[in-house]
Amino acid sequence: MKKHGVLARLGQGYPFAKLESSLQNPRISIVSPQSTNSFLLTVFSELKGENPPIQLVVASTGREAEDIEQELAFLDPTAEILLFPSWETLPHERLSPSAETVGRRYQTIARLQELANEPPAHQVYVLLSIRAALQPIISGLEKFPPLSLVQGQEYLLPELALKLVEQAYQRVDMVSRRGEFAVRGGILDIFPTTAEHAVRLEFFGDELEEIREFAVSDQRSSATKLDSLTLYPARELIITPSVAAKAREMMHEFPNLSAMLEKISLGIPVDGMESLAPALADKMISIFEYLPKHLTVVLLSPEKAAARAASLVETNEEFLHAAWDAAMDGASAPIDLSGGGFIDFATFNSKLSKLQLVTLSPFGLDSEEVVNLGILEIPNFKGVDASAIEWVADQLDQKHLVVVSAQGHGTAERLREVFIQGQLQADLVDEIPENPKPKTIYLIQAPFKRGFVSENSKLTVLTNTEYYSQSSYSSPQVRKLSVKRGAAVDPLTLKAGDFVVHEIHGIGRFKELVQRTSGIGARQHQREYLLIEYASPKRGYPEDTLFVPTDQLDMLTRYIGGEAPVISKLGGSDWARAKGNARKAVRKIAIDLVKLYSARMNSKGYAFASDTPWQHELEEAFPFQETPDQLTTIDEVKRDMEKPIPMDRLLAGDVGYGKTEVAVRAAFKAIQDGKQVAMLVPTTLLVRQHTDTFLERFAGFPVNVKSLSRFQTAKEVKETIAGLATGAVDLVIGTHRLLSDTVKFRNLGLIIIDEEQRFGVEHKEKLKAIKTNVDILAMSATPIPRTLEMAITGIREMSTLATPPEDRHPILTFIGGYSQKQVAAAIRRELIREGQIFFVHNRVATIEKAANDLAKLVPEARIAVAHGQMPEAALEQVVVDFWEKKFDVLVSTTIIETGIDIPNANTLIIDRAEHFGLSQLHQIRGRVGRSRERAYAYFFYDPSKPLSETSHDRLATIAQNNEL
């Protein structure tokens, strides 16, 4: 869209004529709704003339800054947009920011240095949150320039590896995340901090022969080649000789920090060492010291920014005391870390005194100049109904230019059809024409989040949000790399103590990867072996060992049982007996399984048609990047549905891996052929969540979605049941209520079962009665053994989602003794970003006391309690209220372990974590980290009692494995 479209119309009228002259003043306050921020930023650059200054845009939150980045990229495609993200951690928190965040901050600082020396010829927007603006940064980051590598140039690989270590990259055996590198012969694998994908550098001698991207999930190279590569550092606190020397000096002053400081003094990075930056670095400075002189600061919603600044300063002080007071015991003097804390809002304002400041706010603020643009937000409509059509028609009658923004081409096309059916002229365009036609709606594909009405400019902008009351976040589109999966054990991923299964010898424990010399004389050669330990043949004797050559890895698989196994004896009969018992069990159920399989294969099902154009539109509108597993599974499900044999497929995958999107596409495919779909879920919360998801994904399509659960009124239930009988309802989502005798379907074609393992025998018997000749798609994160048996034996088809979304952040995990200060600080840090908290206390007898203690500790937090001894209806109501954000903290037992999906809850606190099993800790930690926000998990143990060796190992394992 060219600037002379919406922006030209927006710039018309008296307020904008006044705005042009007002922009010459050093202080100006503009009154306009938040939805116009990106538009106004672009208008400012036009009003400033041929040489617009750099705009430093300070948003209230990082999410708002990211949204503006997308919108500006659309509105002003020739502009340069720099994003300076804040750390995911607080300055005094003993956790390190991610390498991706650090890399992007270095990238922005490097570009600001260039702009300070050479003013740009084009518009530049620098975007940051108030949090990023308030946090001091280490002086001298510009002294660590990025490492540039060019294909065809010569580099000494050992020197290059040393430079990467100096840039705080971590050397590993196999690269899996940003900030890591690996060297194998003449190949250097590296995951740059600012790159979308990992990169493989192949050397021929000293010449860099080829630079190619590769997928970390299977380590296979892609077809994408690069000419050059730029590598920004992975940490902001680089361990220079000066930093190492200071750490050495401090070791004697602070004995409780000696282990951490000793590693730093030896040049070894430590998680959370950035919190010591004020003591180790030369000095801390403000981001404003890197800014060019000639720029305009635009502060968005200053009243929100001021409130957030106050909360940040207070919470960070709590973290300072919680994290470091104990570390000061026995110290010769207190450590001064105050230089790293957030500056207050008054100090922030003082740094703007010599810069032009423009504030954008829905309210008028005290300023030398206030301009009210007279722009209003648009009310939400309940879909594109008659009242919405009438409202748009009124805007056209008032000679408004009406622009409707949709986030996908398919949605825009369907909205156009709806407007035309409402007797309105509507055109789908790539650009708004310079001379728009009267009484014509212009539909564009754009990333706008909210619309607005400008009476002075005669302009109305609408978005998906106004029509459907929901807006899906579109993550940046990432190019997909082809991925193939192998089944063999990868020895590089095995750790000492991991259980493995040998096809002949049974279950053993991996010890290490060793090299042994074989042969004699000229035939002597070395081979690599996996050393596997087996049980002692007799009591008092040492364990047996087995050397498995790396060319026989197909004989080994990982042990995937839920409990610690019994180690087999080499040459013993235990393993043979276990396999024999398994064969008997298979024979026992074989007859039933074969009958079931035969009946399914011989029954005549419905063969669904190939994908329609609408199906393609729905799939293109998916706002996230599909994982390779998702794409494979979707194809498998569609192929099953297009066969004349009833589908019976199990979809297994961890929470957050994309099972619901597979169900969305399968349901839509069935509905396109005139069939009805029933989705059976175990809880009322899942009914609400899935209903919202399906309504959002089907928005703009003629699909009638209803729900059946305890939360529907008698009238709503009656209408839904009647609609199912007549065919008026296309998709119904419900609990076991769907299985009642009163529910009849006119033309049922597909049943989707979510969390299948949570339904009992009685429910499944009723399902059998209604699922004859109907396609079945069952989904589960933890399938029961019988279901897995059926899948493994081929009686039931099975798809697996094993690949997490590529942009999913690892969960920052903290292990330590319980501290009220730490708990209060963690809760307040989440409240600052308007998130929610799970607090797990696994004793029903004392859970109310734990909740009361939290209420005294953080009185501003709204706290609710949930546990398994509550009446079912009361428990469900509490969980639903938490999902609807009526509470900030949910104090619960381990009932949250499965079946609860709260994307806004991104802090988890577990009290007495030493009493939980490893699988429990992993499952519970999976409750957080399901959105684009960085998630935190705190595992606290009782500091008054020594940890047992088992508990210590368990907590160490959960800390080291923070990936999904």
pLDDT at 368: 60
Q: Summarize pLDDT for 487-501 with one digit per residue, the tens.
A: 456 676 677 888 899
The answer to whether the CB of 836 falls within 8 A of the CB of 904 is: yes
Check: CATH 3.20.20.450 for 26-135+286-372?
no
Q: What is the DSSP letter of 130?
A: H
pLDDT at 180: 95
Distance separating alpha carbons of residues 946 and 952, to the nearest angstrom: 10
Beta strands 544-549; 905-910: pairing state: unpaired
pLDDT at 332: 47
Packed helices 14-22 and 37-47: angle between N→C axes, nearest 10 degrees = 60
Q: Summarize pLDDT for 90-101 with one digit per residue, the tens.
A: 888 878 899 999
pLDDT-derived band at 964 (thresholds 50, 70, 90) equals very low
Q: Please check the confidence at residue 474 and state whether its pLDDT lies above 80.
A: no
State if pTM tops 0.85.
Answer: no
pLDDT at 533: 93
The tokens 């800014």 sit on which residue?
Answer: 291
pLDDT at 784: 52
pLDDT-derived band at 703 (thresholds 50, 70, 90) equals very high
DSSP 904-926: TEEEEEETTGGGS-HHHHHHHHT
CATH of domain 496-586: 2.40.10.170
Distance separating alpha carbons of residues 464 and 462, to the nearest angstrom: 7
Start-end of H helices in 644-704: 659-672, 684-697
Residue 740 CB burial class (10 angstroms; 0-12, 13-18, ≥19)? exposed
Q: What's the N-to-C CA distance of the chain in angstroms?
A: 40
Check: CATH 3.40.50.300 for 604-801?
yes
Provide mean pLDDT across the span 425-454: 91
The tokens 């400081």 sit on which residue?
Answer: 261
pLDDT at 438: 92
Average pLDDT, the chain: 84
Strand order in the sheet with 425-428: 375-377, 452-454, 459-462, 401-406, 440-445, 425-428
pLDDT-derived band at 552 (thresholds 50, 70, 90) equals confident
pLDDT at 272: 87
**Which secondary-structure segment (H or E) carries 636?**
helix 628-641
Distance separating alpha carbons of residues 272 and 285, to the nearest angstrom: 20
- At residue 331, the 3 state secondary structure works out as coil
DSSP 564-631: PPPPPBTT-SHHHHHHHHHHHHHHHHHHHHHHHHHHHHHS----PPPPPHHHHHHHHT--SPPPHHHH
Distance separating alpha carbons of residues 474 and 599, to the nearest angstrom: 44
DSSP 503-534: TTTEEEEEEEEEEEEESSGGG-EEEEEEEEEE
Highest mean pLDDT, choosing among 53-57, 353-357, 552-556, 719-723: 719-723
DSSP E strand stretches across 685-829: 705-708, 731-734, 748-754, 775-780, 797-801, 812-817
The answer to whether the CB of 223 falls within 8 A of the CB of 480 is: no
DSSP E strand stretches across 172-240: 180-184, 187-190, 198-204, 207-214, 221-226, 228-231
Q: Summarize pLDDT for 590-637 with one digit per residue, the tens.
A: 665 566 556 656 677 889 999 988 898 888 888 777 888 888 999 999
Backbone angles phi, psi at 210, to 5 degrees: -155, 140
Least confident range of 210-214, 341-345, 447-451, 562-566: 562-566
In percent, the amount of the chain with pLDDT more than 70 equals 85
Q: Please check the confidence at residue 280 and state whether its pLDDT lies above 60.
A: yes
The tokens 């030209």 sit on which residue?
Answer: 8
DSSP E strand stretches across 822-935: 836-840, 863-866, 889-892, 905-910
Q: Which amino acid is at 614?
A: W
Q: What is the DSSP letter of 434?
A: S
- At residue 708, the 3 state secondary structure works out as strand
pLDDT at 472: 40
Quote the distance between the C-alpha of residue 756 and its chain's center. 25
Q: Summarize pLDDT for 939-954 with one digit per residue, the tens.
A: 999 988 888 877 887 8
Distance separating alpha carbons of residues 220 and 213, to the nearest angstrom: 9
pLDDT at 482: 41
CATH of domain 812-960: 3.40.50.300
pLDDT at 771: 60
Q: Please check the confidence at residue 478 and state whether its pLDDT lies above 50.
A: no
Q: Summarize pLDDT for 220-263 with one digit per residue, the tens.
A: 888 889 999 999 999 999 999 999 999 999 988 888 788 899 99
CATH topology of domain 147-231: Penicillin-binding protein 1b fold (3.30.2060)
Distance separating alpha carbons of residues 728 and 725, to the nearest angstrom: 8
CATH topology of domain 385-468: Rossmann fold (3.40.50)
- What are the sequence ranges of the domains in the chain? 26-135+286-372, 147-231, 385-468, 496-586, 604-801, 812-960
Instruction: Name which of 887, 101, 646, 11 is nearest 375 in CA terms.
Output: 11
Higher pLDDT, 652 or 408: 652
Packed helices 659-672 and 613-620: angle between N→C axes, nearest 10 degrees = 160
Domains 385-468 and 604-801 equal at CATH topology level: yes
Distance separating alpha carbons of residues 425 and 432, to the nearest angstrom: 15
pLDDT at 459: 92
Q: What is the DSSP letter of 535?
A: B
Q: Summarize pLDDT for 18-66 with one digit per residue, the tens.
A: 777 777 788 888 888 988 999 999 888 877 766 667 899 999 999 899 9
Distance separating alpha carbons of residues 353 and 375, to the nearest angstrom: 29
- Give the dihedral sign, CA 197/202/206/208: negative
Q: Please check the confidence at residue 321 and state whether its pLDDT lies above 50.
A: yes
Cα dihedral value 487, 488, 492, 497, nearest 10: 100
Half-sphere exposure of 149 (CA within 13 A, CB side): 29
Rounded to whole angstroms, the maximal C-alpha distance in the chain is 97
pLDDT at 757: 67
Q: Summarize pLDDT for 788-816 with one digit per residue, the tens.
A: 555 554 556 788 887 766 656 778 888 88
The answer to whether the CB of 438 falls within 8 A of the CB of 431 is: no
**Which secondary-structure segment (H or E) carries 792?**
helix 785-792
